[in-house]
Every structure is written in C-alpha cells, then in structure tokens.
Amino acid sequence: MFGHIKVANETGNPSDFVVQIRGRMRRAHEVARRHLEANAKRSKEVYDARLSFHKYEVGDMVWLLHETRRVGISAKVQKAFDGPFLVKLVKVKISEINFVIQLRKKARRK
C-alpha cells in the first residue's frame, strides 16, 4: 500500500532497454521539434500582424531619426528626432523605406 509501485521489467535484456529508451528519446525530440516549429510560426504571424510599414509619398512630412549619439553627452538629453522634413523623392528600386528628404526650403537633400 505504501512505498514504490513495482513495475514489471518488460525487457529482460539491458541492451533492449537501451534501444527502447533511445527510440523514446528520438520520438520525444521529434515532437519537441514540431512544437518548436509551430510555435515559431505562430510567433512570426503575431509579430507580422502588429508590424506596419508607412508608405510615404513625395510631399509628405517626415521626422529624421538620429541613430548615432555624440560622445560625452548623455543620450537622455540628445534629440532622438529632427524635423519635420519634406519627402522629395522615393527610391523604390532600393527599398520602400529609403527616401530623399529636403532639410530646409533651400537646403541640400539628405
């Protein structure tokens, strides 16, 4: 009534036991791999659903992100964005996120 439950030894040979364990481990690995792939696919779908690209046209006003920070000045006090600037040209051949913007009314393009 108390203690361990006796399980009958289904295999009499230790090498058969090793073969069974290897088979079970292989199947467990395959199941885990399938679940991992399904979870990765589901995560990608959720991420892509939340992702949005803005389609800018010539004449739209945009903000310019300062990706580099100046050394010696805290990033907290530096401006993250500059602008707004006017979109002058959309370079579709390169990608949909590269634009030529005009910094000032009579300034050079960037």
What phi, psi does 63 have (nearest 5°)? -105, 145
What residue spans define the domains of the chain? 1-52, 61-102
Q: What is the DSSP string of 14-78?
A: HHHHHHHHHHHHHHHHHHHHHHHHHHHHHHHHHHHHH-------TT-EEEEE--S--TTS-TTTS
pTM value is 0.43
The per-residue pLDDT for range 24-47, each reduced to its tens digit, is 999 999 999 999 999 999 999 999
The per-residue pLDDT for range 76-87, each reduced to its tens digit, is 888 888 878 888
